[in-house]
A and B are shown apart, each in its own frame.
Chain A
């Protein structure tokens, strides 16, 4: 098994922490994992993105030629990554900020209004964890338990953020489970 996922959005949307939490959860499960953030000039104003590779054997390249999953948090990210995703790959779209849809018909699409769900929860900045919850429900890449434990470790010094993130994670997971999220 080797699954590569790209998380993409504006800098500040928490795309890097989304990827980091997933990578950490995979580490909790004893899997091999690499986390490669985009950095530097690209972050300012443009898109921020990171690539997480998860495998049960040694990971050769942390770079994805064709990612299995792409998580899209804003419009520019859709434009940038829709042509890279593998045939049969899965794309997750934040419907609150992404108006267009991929032109490709050979990929699976899931939609989730991350910002609305986070807003209802009273924490606008948790949209990323809502997305991650939905992502985990559909991909089953790691167990929810591992993600919870990862959030516990990553935010261990920020108790409030930790609890809000855990809530947001569940909201996203339940939304996907109940509404299917299918486009």
Chain B
């Protein structure tokens, strides 16, 4: 099944009944699928007049307590940032999919990972974070999308699925989880559902008093600390005996994994560390790996973004080398294993 379709079907099964979006390549298959499937299960699909309108529709549905989703690609996600900041400030759950493309500006439609900074630093204005999940296979697109709705509701926070054109277009076999009964999802006692017979609920991000606003910010920060403690995910592949570990996520991690296998065939002890949550970044697990490994090789489909988080986590204790291909160029595994071999030779590793 196609990656974009997988995300859509997984969302539906997780109980998503509202989708609002505006078309952009390379993720149009997602709204296309939703437009057909949502009405079948009594859901609502709206192709809005713009990205900005669609994210504000998401805010509305989320306030009313529904499971809701939007999706776009890099420039479209930039347009949605004001709304995403509001979701953060209002503490509203929502799932936002970014099938990244080459940028900046309008860029192209080829697979890229150049929105890492934007995604992991909140993206919009203000002190807030979004949980960022980076799937690297068809099955993960499904599982992480399904999980994203639970995380969003549990922490009352927007969750971003960060993938790219390749993940969205590629087909892989997938096993879907059960279709959830929307009526049996956990209740949301804070939702705005009509105040008849009860006290009114207020959901707002306009807090004029700096003291109260400060407390609201600290409350958000406490929540983010909880998330950082509980929700870190990563994959470690052949790192136990490795002399050099590649750090990569999403599409880049797939290429890197093939490069690891090639390098191992040549007798080079190479491993792969793949962050699945980009925020919270798997800092402690990476530090554990760094107790055994001195050399790290960060590979991204951008000009060097996650490498900053790797350096921050390893705080100068290890040797960190970066290799990136920005602009939508997707190198093959042979290119990466060549760079790995060069590193071994130059640094006299192993």
Contact = CB atoms under 8 A, between A and B. Distances in A.
A175 interface: no
Contacts of B166: 36, 62
Nearest to B168: A39
B171 A20 contact: yes
Given A41-B109, A61-B333, A63-B333, A36 B169 contact: yes
Contact of A34 (B108, B172, B333): B172
B26 A65 contact: no
Contacts of B172: 33-35, 62
Contacts of B317: none
Identify whether the interface residues of A are mostly helix, strand, loop, or mixed. Answer: mixed
Interface string A31-59: 01111110111000000000000000000
Interface in A102-151: none
Contacts of A34: 170-172
Contacts of A72: none
A4 B332 CA distance: 13
A183 interface: no
A161 interface: no
A66 B334 contact: yes
B254 A61 contact: yes
B109 A60 contact: no
Contacts of A60: 254-255, 257-258, 260-261, 333
Nearest to A32: B173
Interface in B257-306: 257-261
Interface centre among A33, A61, A63 (most CB of B within 10 A): A61
Contacts of B110: 40
B165 to A, nearest CB: 7
A155 B333 CA distance: 34
Contacts of A62: 166, 170, 172, 254
Contacts of A20: 171
Contact of A35 (B171, B258, B259): B171
B277 to A, nearest CB: 21
A73 interface: no
A39 B165 contact: yes
List the 5 closest pairs (A to B, CB-CB), nearest first. A61-B258, A65-B334, A60-B257, A60-B258, A65-B332
Interface of A: 20, 23, 27, 32-37, 39-41, 60-66
22 contacts: A23-B171, A27-B173, A33-B172, A34-B170, A34-B171, A35-B172, A36-B170, A39-B26, A40-B25, A40-B26, A40-B110, A60-B257, A61-B255, A61-B257, A61-B259, A62-B172, A63-B330, A65-B258, A65-B332, A65-B333, A65-B334, A66-B334
Interface of B: 25-26, 108-110, 165-166, 169-173, 254-255, 257-261, 330, 332-335
